[in-house]
Structure formats: structure tokens, C-alpha cells
A = this chain, B = another copy of it.
């Protein structure tokens, strides 16, 4: 199912499969617009809800839109805000992400969370979601129409329809209810959205096969410009892959498919193999800020270590080699692990920038190789070389 494509939007180009870095508040943390260009970024995704709160979508509009505001002339995606309503409310309170950790699952199941419209952290009605935002200690409300309005103000190229994100703790009945609401919201978004933007519809349905198939069929039948696969991706990597295998064949293959919030290296290979065109994830820059940098098989990266090393490892104290032998970024060319370890241990600002730069270039280069391998029919070999190394 892996495929090589080109998205052309507003005179800009995105070669797929593509990794799309997250610019939460209109900046990819630690990097500037020139850095993004250098590492090969053609598109970023910014967070609708976060920008609505700070600095405000109307301010961004008044400043000429996101492209001019953040000085990035590539393609800008914005998410719908639905995931923030989920993650800031439920997720932050209970430490649940897109794939539930088993321990959390056991603890929380007994509490009965995830199956009710009226929760401690959020209230979902047919109009929209009202949730407590712990970042601002205030109540926020998002509706499909409001999400469309905010995204229009932001002036992104690609927007997502507003959806209700369920958690891996939601049962079948609740997930169905939420999915049906997401479908009604999809129609409202198609009414309300700014027709100058491209809009992607989001497939929900949690880990349930029939719901995912139904959702994919419904969303695919609507005049969206592309699709996102959102919400709970189940309780394990296997669940996630099942979901991709159910959904993607149902979707209109003339349109791009985005996997929301996923970006581990193994996940990238598995998702591309199943037909995903784009994904976004905060991983490269978030890990960088924690001192974790990516390494390729050539430098000992493998499935077990998740292609990651922690720079503070004591055996790097006098390691004069760069982070990775395969990576071509300026950090790998110019700086030793010993130097980077020193900067990290001293909490020097420069470390966060250099590590973010490397991690992002690493992923962008991986995507380049993946695209080339698809073109030359050697994707399986490339995948094997990385994943089974």
C-alpha cells in the first residue's frame, strides 16, 4: 500500500510520504524558519486550540495569517482542536495518550472514565465540547463552527474537521455515540469552513473494526480534500496497525491520508507500508529537549532502543564522534557527542537547538530515503534494514 505522492496546495509542494513537524504555538520548538528549510521541512502543523488561546487567532489574522506571522512559506496544516479538548481535559488528568498504557488502563477502567458525556474534565454535547483547560485554569468550549472560524483566521492551507476524540478507555457503545457525533460535526464543518482552505475529514471509531469501517466509509463519501485517522488507536501497536489496515482501503485513494500524532521510527515504516501519506508528531523536538537523540542502524539504532540514545550516557564523556554516522545534518558534522553531552549537562540553551535540529533532520532524511525506496521499489528492503537491524 506504500505510495509516493506529491501534494500541491496554493503553489506549494509536499512530497509524500511526509513527516510534518508540530509548530504548536507557531514555532517548531527551538528552531527558526530557516532551520526548517535547511532540514527539508515542506509542511508544519500548528495547534488550533493553543493558538486560539495564545496569541489569539484574530491577532494572527490581523498580522496576515500564520505564514507571515511565523515566517514559513511552506504548507501549514492546523489541527481541529478536538484532540486538545481530549488531551487537556481527560488525557492530562489521567496520563492517557493516543495508545493506552496497560497500567493506566487497568487503573482507570474501574473508575469508569471515558464512557460518559458528562465527565469531570469535559462535557460533550451535540453542539460541541466544553472542557476545563488546566493550562489557563479556565473553561473552554469548542464547536465545529468555532474550530472552522479559528482555522480560517489562522489562514492555514490545510484544516481538519472538528471531531470528538475518544480514548482507549472508551467502550464500544460510547465510541459509537462519539463517532456518530463526529459524523454530524463533519457535515457542519463542510458547511462552515473557509472555502479558500483545504479540509480533511477525520475518521473515528476507536479500536472497533465495524466502527472504523463505517466511519471510513462515511467520511470518504463526503467532499473532503483528504482524511485524517484520529482518536484512539487502541491498546497496542498491533491495534494501531489493524486500524490502518481496516480504514485505508475504504478511503478514496485519490486523496491523501494523514495519521494524527504518530511518528516513532518503527511506526513511520509500518504506517507508510499501510498507505499513510503524512503524519505529525512532537517526538523529534520533545525528545531533543530531554537529551534524547535519534541514531540510525549504522550507529547502533534498532527497534529495541527505538533508534534513540540519551546524550548524557557516561560513555559519551570523551566520545569525539558525532551523534550519527548516517545523518548529514550540521550537528552531526560539526559537534561531538562529548560536546553535546557537556552542553546538555550544563543545561545550555544551545543544546536544545542542536538536538532539535539533528532529530528533525534525521526524520526528514529518513523520509527522503523512504520516498526514494518507494520510487525504486525497494521499500521493503529499506524497512527490513532499519527494523530488523
**Closest B-chain residue to A335, C-beta based?**
B71
| Contact partner, A70, options B289, B320, B330, B339, Cβ 8 Å | B339
Inter-chain contact B334/A30, CB cutoff 8 Å = no
A342 vs B352: C-alpha distance when bound (angstroms): 20
- The stretch from A31-39, A88-96, A157-165 touching chain B is A31-39
A26 vs B354: C-alpha distance when bound (angstroms): 14
A31 vs B352: C-alpha distance when bound (angstroms): 10
Interface of chain A residues 198 through 252 with chain B (CB within 8 A): none
Q: Tell me how far the C-beta of A59 lies from the nearest C-beta in chain B, rounded to whole angstroms.
A: 7
- The stretch from A113-121, A174-182, A343-351 touching chain B is A343-351
Inter-chain contact A33/B334, CB cutoff 8 Å = yes
Interface of chain A residues 318 through 376 with chain B (CB within 8 A): 318, 320, 330, 334-336, 338-339, 341-343, 345-346, 348-350, 352-354, 356
> A49-74 CB contact bits vs B (8 Å, 1 = yes)?
00000110001001110000111000
Number of copies: 2
Inter-chain contact B30/A330, CB cutoff 8 Å = no
A32 vs B355: C-alpha distance when bound (angstroms): 12
A34 vs B342: C-alpha distance when bound (angstroms): 19
Given contacts A71-B339, A339-B69, A343-B27, contact A317 B350 (CB under 8 A): no
**Closest B-chain residue to A30, C-beta based?**
B349
Q: Taking the complex as formed, is A274 at the interface, i.e. its CB lies under 8 A from any CB of chain B?
A: no
Q: Taking the complex as formed, is A387 at the interface, i.e. its CB lies under 8 A from any CB of chain B?
A: no
Count of chain A residues with a beta carbon within 8 Å of a chain B beta carbon: 41
Q: Taking the complex as formed, is A382 at the interface, i.e. its CB lies under 8 A from any CB of chain B?
A: no
Residues of B with C-beta under 8 A to A353: 30, 32, 349, 353
A33 vs B340: C-alpha distance when bound (angstroms): 13
Inter-chain contact B346/A54, CB cutoff 8 Å = yes
> A105-119 CB contact bits vs B (8 Å, 1 = yes)?
000000000000000
A213 vs B334: C-alpha distance when bound (angstroms): 46
**Interchain Cβ contacts under 8 Å between A and B, 25 examples:** A25-B343, A26-B343, A27-B343, A27-B348, A27-B349, A29-B349, A30-B349, A30-B350, A32-B350, A32-B354, A54-B342, A54-B346, A55-B338, A55-B342, A55-B345, A59-B317, A59-B338, A59-B342, A62-B318, A63-B338, A63-B339, A64-B320, A69-B339, A289-B349, A349-B349
Kindly list 14 other residue pairs between chains A and B, CB separation below 8 angstroms, not including A25-B346, A69-B339. Answer: A25-B343, A26-B343, A27-B343, A31-B350, A54-B345, A55-B345, A55-B346, A63-B320, A63-B336, A71-B334, A71-B335, A289-B349, A349-B352, A349-B353
- Complex A-B, nearest 5 residue pairs according to Cβ-Cβ distance, in ascending order: A55-B342, A30-B349, A71-B334, A27-B350, A25-B346
